[in-house]
């Protein structure tokens, strides 16, 4: 198979490029991103600088004979002065990717969504399944965008059944190679919890997610799949068992404090109040469907994922 990866320079994209480079079923990998790769592509890979909104995307896919595409290019953190750009990339960029898939007659498409498309609500079941409706919190732009992206994908699948489209919904993604503003925030010695941190949360390990993507590329399955670990824990337990000091905020205070920090662009804009709000209510999902239909077995629990993430930081600091 010939695979293209959008967002190839991102956290998940780089791990996926390396994994596919070792897959004997992959003849060629084309990495696409507006940012350069940190490491050279694998021997069977090439990289091309490209904005996913570029109308030339379909032509590029045809040029390389791409039959399989992984769409992992998204802006995660809402920036107070770039919300319009965020929507253009996340939603408009996905619409362009789908147009390109149609033009290039892509046979298999894997799109990275997120469990935030379900929304964090007080009446959420524990755990959520793929049959549950999407109700992204309207105050959190990234969640809203993921809901819109999934609707675009559903419409595309109905109109173009010749393309097998899988949507993966991971929770937060962590591991020893995690980098960026959120990783820096979570590596601090103190962890923020809201309203006592009693709501359950999840993290999926970077290697488990890449493994699921790889299995998705070799499957004829379609539709949404939760890309979650086998377990979940209350936020206060996750962070206390990881050895962190807890900083508890009542929601009205958290909304003001972190909203102000976001507005003045502190901590690289990872403190959007809509994002902090996600920890107030249950937002955990079952992976039973992915286990059953994609033969996926995650190797890490939520706590093991967090511990491996923090151990990766310690290993680096020791060199």
CATH of the domain at 129: 3.40.50.720
Task: Tell me whether residue 252 is in a domain.
Answer: no
> Chunked in runs of 10, what are the mean pLDDT values of the chain (319 residues)?
97 96 95 95 95 97 98 95 96 98 98 98 98 97 98 98 97 95 93 97 98 96 98 98 96 96 91 94 98 97 97 58
Q: Is residue 237 part of a domain?
A: no
Counting every residue written for the chain, the total comes to 319
Residue 41 lies in a domain: yes
Q: What is the pTM of this model?
A: 0.96
Angle made by CA atoms 20, 21, 27, in degrees to the nearest 5: 85
Provide the pLDDT for residue 267.
Answer: 85
Report how far residue 16's alpha carbon sits from residue 9's, in angstroms, rounded to the nearest whole number: 10
Any domain includes 13: yes
The answer to the question of residue 95 being in a domain is yes
Distance CA(234)–CA(174), nearest Å, equals: 17
From the number of C-beta atoms within 10 Å of its C-beta (0-12, 13-18, 19+), residue 30 rates as buried
Instruction: Count the neighbouring beta carbons within 10 Å of the beta carbon of residue 176.
Output: 16
pLDDT at 313: 62
In this structure, the number of other CB atoms found within 10 A of the CB of residue 56 comes to 12
Question: What local confidence, expressed as pLDDT, does residue 315 receive?
Answer: 53
- The boundaries of the domain holding residue 168 are 2-174+202-230+283-300
134: in domain: yes
pLDDT tens per residue, range 265-308: 988 889 999 999 999 999 999 999 999 999 999 999 999 999 99
Give the integer Cα–Cα distance in Å for 116 and 137: 8
Residues 6+ apart with CB under 8 A from 190: 244, 245, 246, 247
Q: Tell the burial category of 161 from Cβ atoms under 10 Å away from its Cβ (0-12, 13-18, 19+).
A: exposed
Eight-state DSSP code of residue 116: G
Is residue 63 domain-resident?
Answer: yes
* The residue to which tokens 């962890």 are assigned: 191
Residues 213 and 191: their CA atoms lie apart, in Å, by 30
The total number of structural domains in the chain stands at: 1
Is 316 inside a domain boundary?
no
DSSP 126-144: SSB-TTSPP---TT-HHHH
pLDDT at position 312? 85
pLDDT digits (tens, 9 = 90+) for 222-240: 999 999 999 999 999 999 9
What is the token pair recorded at 108? Answer: 């298999």
Q: What is the pLDDT of residue 317?
A: 44
Radius of gyration of the chain (CA): 19
Residue with the two structure tokens 């050279």: 40
């Amino acid at each position: 198979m010939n695979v293209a990866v959008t967002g190839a320079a991102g956290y998940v994209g780089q791990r996926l490029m390396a994994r596919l480079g070792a897959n004997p079923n992959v003849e060629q990998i084309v990495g696409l991103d507006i940012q350069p790769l940190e490491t050279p592509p694998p021997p069977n890979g090439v990289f091309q600088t490209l904005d996913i909104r570029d109308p030339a995307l379909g032509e590029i896919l045809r040029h390389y004979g791409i039959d399989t595409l992984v769409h992992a290019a998204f802006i995660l953190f809402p920036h107070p002065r770039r919300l319009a750009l965020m929507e253009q990339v996340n939603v408009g960029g996905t619409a362009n990717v789908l147009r390109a898939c149609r033009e290039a007659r892509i046979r298999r498409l894997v799109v990275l969504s997120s469990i935030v498309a379900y929304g964090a609500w007080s009446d959420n079941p524990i755990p959520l399944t793929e049959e549950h409706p999407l109700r992204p919190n309207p105050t959190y732009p990234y969640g809203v965008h993921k809901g819109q992206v999934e609707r675009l994908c559903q419409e595309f699948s109905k109109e173009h059944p010749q393309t097998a489209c899988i949507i993966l919904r991971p929770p937060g993604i962590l591991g020893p190679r995690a980098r960026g503003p959120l990783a820096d925030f979570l590596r601090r010695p103190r962890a923020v919890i809201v309203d006592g941190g009693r709501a359950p949360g999840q993290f999926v390990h970077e290697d488990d997610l890449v493994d699921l993507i790889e299995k998705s590329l070799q499957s004829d399955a379609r539709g949404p799949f939760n890309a979650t670990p086998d377990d979940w824990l209350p936020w206060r337990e996750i962070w206390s068992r990881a050895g962190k000091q807890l900083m508890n905020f009542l929601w009205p205070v958290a909304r003001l404090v972190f909203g102000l920090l976001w507005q003045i662009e502190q901590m690289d804009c990872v403190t959007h109040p809509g994002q902090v709000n996600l920890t107030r209510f249950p937002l955990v999902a079952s992976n039973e469907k992915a286990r059953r239909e994609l033969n996926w077995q995650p190797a890490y629990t939520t706590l093991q994922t967090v511990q491996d993430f923090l151990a990766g930081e310690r290993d680096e600091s020791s060199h």
